[in-house]
Amino acid sequence: MRIGNGLVIGLAAAALACFTSCAPRAEIKQAKLYENGLATMIGGDIDPVSAKICYEWKFGMADFWKWESPSAETVLKNNHPLVGFSKQEVAEIFPAAGRYEVRVFAKPVAGSSATTGESTQIGLSVPKDEIHEAERQSYIRAVFRDRKLIHYRVWAALDLSVKRQGLGR
């Protein structure tokens, strides 16, 4: 029996889709657990919610800010560079007056580093290197109004990279 190229490509695409959706990465599974946990804490006080995220889930505080009835411009101006609010989110989350606190939590999930250097024409090393570090972190952004959790968002993993130069040997 002869199988056409279209059928083979279709079967390969279906197998790939099943592989990626049927066997999600550990980070995605963990993020779902965080989302489910946060869903049960909507309306909860800021201290127990933060304690659960920091002490039970082992996240660290990455950013924090407070506003009294902030304007959309204020929120967007003070956005976290990786997990900031979109204009639509600002309109949905910050319409009511009140005292808002936004907390961004981060947790490393994986990382790697590499050092690159230079050498002279005769093979001697130059005394300065560059270190390239890549790190994946999970993030939780929690929004509190009048000390009660009103909104959250979870990112399973975001890639960060850092390059440091000029380290002597």
For 67-97, the pLDDT digits (tens) are 999 999 999 888 888 888 999 999 999 998 9
Q: Taking Cα atoms as reference points, which of 26, 54, 76, 70 lies closest to residue 142?
A: 54
**Average model confidence (pLDDT) for the chain?**
77
Q: How many CB atoms lie within 10 A of CB 102?
A: 24
Burial of 75 (0-12, 13-18, 19+ CB in 10 A): buried
For 124-142, the pLDDT digits (tens) are 666 566 666 667 888 999 9
Decide if 137 contacts 158 (C-beta within 8 A).
Answer: yes
Q: What local confidence, expressed as pLDDT, does residue 7 receive?
A: 41
For 27-43, the pLDDT digits (tens) are 888 889 999 999 999 99
Does residue 144 carry a pLDDT above 80?
yes
Reading the block at residue 101, the tokens are: 């606190």
Q: Confidence class of residue 58 from pLDDT cuts 50, 70 and 90?
A: very high
